[in-house]
Amino acid sequence: MRVAIPALLLLTVSASCGRGPDLVVHQTAVVLDTTAPFAHHPDFARRLESTMSAALAYWGGDWKALAHRTVTFQDEQFVACGGMGTALGCFDGDIRLTTRDPSIGTFRCVEATVLVHEIGHAVIGDRDHRDPRWMDFERVAQELAGRIGYPDGSAPCELYPSVWRHLPGG
C-alpha cells in the first residue's frame, strides 16, 4: 500500500548533526523549542499552516516570503531581537517568537502568538512600523477567531490583536 505525504506539510525527522526542524510548512522550517501544549497537539501543523496563510494574505504576501526561512517557537518569556531584550517576537531573516505572554502566561494557541506580526516583517519589512496595517488586525483576527485553545481543548483560543499591533514609527 502506498501512502502519499502532502507536499505542503511534512513532518521532518532529522538524523544529521545538530537539531533539524520539527516540521516543514511550504518550505519553511519550524522548530518547536517550547513546552506549550498547543505546539504539541496533533492539529498544530494544520493550525500553524492556516495561521501563516491568513497572515500572508493580510500582508499581501505569499509562501515565497517564508521559503527557506525558519520559524522558532520558544519557551522564554522574551526573545532577543537586535539588542532588545523584551521582544515577544523577532524577524531578522528568520522568525523567533515566545509562546508565553508576560501578563497571561503560556498562550493557548498558535493564533494568539505574535506570528501574524512577525510574518508582516517577513513580507513588507517595515522595521519602523510605518504601514497603517500595524494598527488594524481586525480582518485577520476575525478569520482566526473561534478556534479552541489548549491544554485541554475546552477553552476558546483567546486572540489578543493588541499584542500584534505596533504604533506607526515606534
Domain count along the chain? 1
Q: Is residue 53 part of a domain?
A: yes
Q: Is residue 70 part of a domain?
A: yes
pLDDT digits (tens, 9 = 90+) for 72-96: 999 988 998 887 767 899 999 999 9
pTM score, whole prediction: 0.84
Q: Is residue 2 part of a domain?
A: no
Q: Is residue 3 part of a domain?
A: no
Say if residue 5's pLDDT is above 70.
no
Q: Are 59 and 133 in contact (CB under 8 A)?
A: yes
Average pLDDT over residues 21-47: 96
Closest C-alpha to 12, from 33, 36, 1, 28: 28
Residue owning grid cell 517576537? 89
Domain with 21, as residue range(s), is 9-164
Q: Is residue 140 part of a domain?
A: yes
Q: Is residue 169 part of a domain?
A: no
Q: Is residue 30 part of a domain?
A: yes
> What is the structure's pLDDT at 150?
85
* Pairing mode, strands 95-98 and 70-74: parallel
Q: Is residue 91 part of a domain?
A: yes
Give the separation between CA 109 and CA 158, rounded to whole angstroms.
Answer: 8
pLDDT digits (tens, 9 = 90+) for 112-145: 999 999 999 999 999 888 898 988 888 898 999 8
Average pLDDT over residues 139-165: 79
